[in-house]
Structure 1
Amino acid sequence: MYILKRVVSTGGTIVHQCTSLTVKNLSVCYCLRSPKRHSPYSSVDCERYSSLVKSVMSSRVSSQTPETLLTEDEHIYGPVVKAQTPSSRPEMREPKTLHPFLHCEESVETEEPEPGPPARILLNRDQGRSFVPSVTRILQQTLSQEQIFYLERWKRKMIAELGEEGFKEYSQNLFRQGKLFHSALEDILMSGATWKNKNPSETPEYPPEVQGYMESISHVLEDVGAVRATESTVQHDTLNYLGIVDCVARYRGVLCVIDWKTSEKPKPFLSNTYDNPIQVAAYAGALNNDGNYKYQVENGLIVVAYKDGSPAHAHQLRSELMLEYWKTWLVRLEKFTEQRSSPASSVFVEKR
């Protein structure tokens, strides 16, 4: 006989009911009498095991920080000489003076440009420009401690892998490929021909070092037209800086300052391009305030080409985003000015 108990609630009153069941199958009794299997966990200290699990589950495992990476690198490559470990991320600040991005006297171009070759104003340092810093130099000398840390960490790893001479040759090859790439682009843009309507038989033979890059940007060139300038100097007299614009043209109908970049790694997001958006905003701001250009540019474009020929990534910067990067540029420019008055300012090689 087996008795079942159940609880029934009736109007707030709890009533215990019993039900009698007759057990006809006695095989269960055999199971109850059979000896228990020995569990491998029976000898485990449950209390100690429980506290260990709780400690592991309650702790947060974070990604490596610059401090832990520095310790690891020092063990593998030796101590860091130049870089200082960033203690914290610097707070973003607003520029002290918000200089206008656009020149009020000029109007933003909406019509197609007048016929003629694109502008190409060469940089001449003898024409009162000897002491005018370039955009590249300003950005290099105002890198954050974190940027310097990761840049030097990459350099030290490359030297450990390639050696001093190997790394030097690697850097020279990158520089040469970049020059050949920009030269090939300039030939296309200066010709005035559109890539979309180009006859395949008319496609020039490019050096082997840049064939992959040219294939990579072919789909972007189909949307580029109405070229206004290529490899042309721009200067902001009020803020006292200059730069060389890769290209000013229409991309999908929108007039942009275009910056052509090469990369060995994919850069599918704008954040992967680091300071390049600031550079484009600086060029556009200088062009808008340069009397040699009778139009205004509000938009930007960063094109990242790949040596293996995979499709380039084109990151478009609309006018609202350009204004944000323009503010960031003004802050970097103020920092550069402050550093110039300090004897402890960093020294970098100027590229352009």
Structure 2
Amino acid sequence: MFILNRVLFVGGIIAPQTASLPVMHFFACPCLISPKRNSPYSSVDSERYSSLVKAVMSSRVSSQTPETLQAEDEHIYGPVVKAQMPTHTERRVPKTTHPFFDYERTPEIEEPEPETPVRIPLNRGQGRSSVPSVTRVLQQTLSPEQIFYLERWKRRMISELGEEGFKEYSRNIFRQGKHFHSALEDYMTSAATAPSETPEYPPEVQGYMESISHILEDVGAVRAIESTVQHETLNYLGIVDCVARYRGVLCVIDWKTSEKPKPFLSNTYDNPVQVAAYAGALNNDKNYKYQVENGLIVVAYKDGSPAHAHQLNSELMSEYWRAWLLRLEDFTEQK
């Protein structure tokens, strides 16, 4: 006979028990092992979800939003009532397709690179007063999930900062982005005219410029900076940040700032749709004598951390072009 100390799980409480068992009857009973059941929310990356909308506001918003944290939302705001999704959904396709390229011109560049980048200013007085911008179309065709997250984030920020504090925070975000793009414009212009000179940056953008320094090393042959593009057939316009070669490939480049890391393309939300819309307009704008079939999204960080560069090849650009056509249709139907 041996004295065996056993541990029983009784109602979630560990209780020791001493029993005498013959050696011949000693065995491991499965019923004595009751593994603790994991909560369905134990694997959720709560930090990522809690900062989602705040990260969204640092650039532009996208339809690629993750699922909601039901437990957190119900605790703070009460249960969220959502319409039941259909059991069978079909992929939407644009009612009217329009080519991404102007096939009368070749996508590859044959003409020499310009000495100075082109900048076509936005002039609303030249028949453009009724032409919507890419930003406006994307903002007015947000999904219900995107609107929900934006409203939730706004309520939280106001509760922490107050109404005036939130307004000041929003103004600072806008001001930093404007200064960052201005510094980039100065850099691109000086690099084209005086490559040996290194411009000095204001303190509020030094971190951003340091963040993208390794990206700028691969950017050259700048063709356009802060230049207006317009698609006359589809009736929209936008201001493209930059058109240049990145590692030898001509791209529409969009510069973004963010408080949180965005290492994956899916973290950039609506930015790929925006870049495809700009490229499609440029390809059909007679002010530009070339075609662009690639894109680049660069996310810069204020603390100087290395920026993330997300490249969009021709296949991805075609996919996001179709997504843009759908958003444009939704915008037109709303009007």
Would you call these one fold, judging by a TM-score over 0.5? yes
**Letter aligned with residue 112 of structure 2:** P
The aligned amino acid for 2:149 is Y
d(CA) in 1 for partners of 2:108 and 2:6?
Answer: 82
User: How many Å separate the matches in 2 of 1:91 and 1:294?
Assistant: 38
Cα distance, 1:51–1:121 mapped onto 2, change above 3 Å: farther
User: What is residue 254 of structure 1 aligned with on the other side?
Assistant: 249
CA drift of 1:52 comes to: 11
User: Which residue of 1 is the match for residue 52 of structure 2?
Assistant: none
Check 1:71–1:121 CA distance in 2 against 1; reply closer, same or farther (3 A cut): same
CA separation in 2, counterparts of 1:151 and 1:294?
40
Residue 307 (str. 1) matches residue 306 (str. 2): no
Q: Distance in 1 between matches of 2:111 and 2:191?
A: 14
**Deviation of 1:39 (Å):** 5.3
* 2:173 partner SS: helix
- Identity, % of aligned pairs? 71
Q: Output the CA distance in 2 between the equivalents of 1:329 and 1:45.
A: 56
What amino acid maps onto 2:75 in structure 1? Answer: E
Partner of 1:15: none
Residue 78 (structure 2) pairs with residue 71 (structure 1) = no
Q: Pick closer, same or farther for the CA change 1:261–1:39 going to 2, 3 Å.
A: closer
| Change over 3 Å in CA distance of 1:153–1:239 after alignment to 2 | same
In structure 1, the partner of 2:317 is 322
Q: Structure 1 290/162 Cα, relative in aligned 2: closer, same or farther at 3 Å?
A: same
The whole-number CA distance in structure 2 between the counterparts of 1:285 and 1:40 is: 69
Q: TM-score, normalised by structure 2?
A: 0.79
Q: Which residue of 1 aligns with 2:206?
A: 211
SS at match of 2:192: coil
Q: Distance in 1 between matches of 2:117 and 2:127?
A: 25
Cα displacement string for residues 96-142 of structure 1 (whole angstroms, at most 9, x for unaligned residues): 11110000111123346343311101001110000000000000011
1:159 counterpart letter in structure 2: I
Q: Name the aligned partner's letter for residue 190 of structure 1.
A: T
1:239 aligns with one of 209, 234, 252: 234
Instruction: Give 1:66 deviation, angstroms.
Output: 5.1
Which range is displaced more, 167-176 or 64-73?
A: 64-73
Describe the shift of the 1:275–1:111 C-alpha distance in structure 2 as closer, same or farther (beyond 3 A). same
| CA contact 1:85–1:149 (8 Å) conserved in 2 | no
Once the two structures are superposed, what CA deviation does each residue of 1:22-64 show, in whole Å capped at 9, x if it has no partner?
Answer: xxxxxxxxxx3x7x4675649x589xx969948x75x872557
Corresponding position of 1:16: none
- Which residue of structure 2 lines up, in the alignment, with residue 27 of structure 1? none
The answer for unaligned runs of 5 or more in structure 1 is 1-31, 341-352
SS in 2 for 1:193: helix
Read off the aligned partner of 1:70 and give its amino acid letter.
D
Q: Which has the larger radius of gyration?
A: 1
Report the CA distance between 1:68 and its aligned residue.
Answer: 3.7
Q: CA deviation at 1:67?
A: 4.3
Indicate the SS of the match to 1:243: strand
Residue in 2 that maps onto 1:275: 270
Q: CA deviation at 1:233?
A: 0.3
CA positional deviation for 1:92? 4.2
CA distance in 2, matches of 1:268, 1:45: 45
* 2:56 pairs with 1:61: no
Unaligned 5+ residue runs, structure 2? 16-30, 45-66
Letter in structure 2 aligned against 1:213 = Y
Secondary structure of residue in 2 paired with 1:333: helix
Q: Structure 1 residues 66 and 117 mapped into 2: Cα distance closer, same or farther (>3 Å)? A: same
- Correspondence for 1:334: 329
Q: Alpha-carbon deviations, 1:167-207, whole Å to 9, x = none?
A: 1111100100101000010111123439xx955xx322211
Shift in Å at residue 295 of structure 1? 0.4
Q: Which residue of 1 aligns with 2:18?
A: none
RMSD: 2.9
| CA distance in structure 2 between the aligned counterparts of 1:45 and 1:316, rounded to whole angstroms | 55
* Aligned twin of 1:190: 189
- Distance in 1 (CA, whole Å) between partners of 2:210 and 2:83 is 40
Q: Is the contact between residue 186 and residue 199 of structure 2 (CA under 8 Å) also seen in structure 1? A: no
Q: Which aligned pairs between 1:46-195 and structure 2 lie closer than 5 A? A: 53=34, 57=37, 61-62=40-41, 63=44, 65=68, 67-74=70-77, 85=82, 88=85, 92-111=91-110, 113-193=112-192
Of 325-334 and 102-111, deviating more is: 102-111
CA contact (8 A) 1:101 1:326 kept: yes
Cα distance, 1:37–1:87 mapped onto 2, change above 3 Å: same
Q: Distance in 1 between matches of 2:206 and 2:164?
A: 26
Of 87-96 and 185-194, deviating more is 87-96
What code does the residue aligned with 1:275 have? Answer: D
The aligned counterpart of 1:221 is 216
